[in-house]
């Protein structure tokens, strides 16, 4: 099926595949998987850096993976020196997750790399077309998922 023949959902799925592949390639020099990169993003967006850290169970829920899988992701990030576990200040039984200084720096680098990939992919669109596309996709996401877009 050509691009001209593809329906809207097929075009969105193809675009997502192309972007995922390019994002995965951008992670390769850092030895990270997409799950590890997403986990770092969840930790940052949770506000863990500004207050209480993020619990492993909350990370698993936000990533949509089993707690055991989240443990594997965090173990790998910890081995890279990107995430640290700290005892919770509010619950002695709990452990909070935070990015290390190296993790915060790498996260900023990855955000720039992701923006570059996106800019390259959508370079043929004008600024107005990009804004329209973003508005339309947000509207469709909000209508189908009241919780909003995830990670």
Six token digits for residue 21: 């592949």
- The total number of residues shown for the chain amounts to 151
Q: Check: CB of residue 40 under 8 Å from CB of residue 107.
A: yes
Q: Tell me the DSSP string of 69-89.
A: HHHHHHHHHHHTTSEEEEE-S
Which of 118, 148, 112 is CA-nearest to residue 20? 118
Q: Let me know: does 39 contact 73? Beta carbons within 8 Å.
A: yes
- The 3-class secondary structure across 90-108, one letter per residue, is CCCCCEEEEECHHHHHHHH
- Ranges of beta strands (E only) in the chain are 54-55, 83-87, 95-99
Q: What domains are there in the chain, each with its CATH number?
A: 21-137 (1.10.10.10)
Per-residue pLDDT tens digits of the chain, which is 151 residues long: 566 666 888 999 999 999 999 999 999 999 999 989 999 999 988 876 666 678 899 999 999 999 999 999 999 999 999 999 988 777 778 888 999 999 999 999 999 999 999 999 999 999 999 999 999 999 988 998 766 555 4
């Amino acid at each position: 099926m050509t691009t001209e023949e593809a329906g809207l959902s097929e075009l969105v799925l193809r675009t997502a595949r192309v972007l995922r592949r390019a994002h995965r390639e951008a992670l390769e020099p850092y030895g990270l998987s997409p799950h590890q990169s997403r986990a770092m993003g969840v930790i940052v967006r949770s506000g863990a850096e500004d207050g209480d850290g993020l619990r492993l169970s909350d990370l698993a829920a936000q990533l949509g993976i089993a707690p055991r899988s989240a443990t594997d992701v965090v173990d790998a990030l910890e081995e890279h020196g990107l995430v640290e576990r700290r005892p919770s200040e509010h619950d002695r039984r709990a452990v909070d997750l935070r990015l290390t200084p190296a993790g915060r720096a790498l996260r900023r680098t990855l955000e720039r790399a992701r923006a570059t990939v996106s800019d390259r992919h959508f370079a043929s669109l004008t600024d107005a077309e990009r804004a329209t596309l973003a508005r339309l996709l947000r509207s469709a996401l909000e209508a189908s998922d009241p919780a909003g877009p995830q990670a």
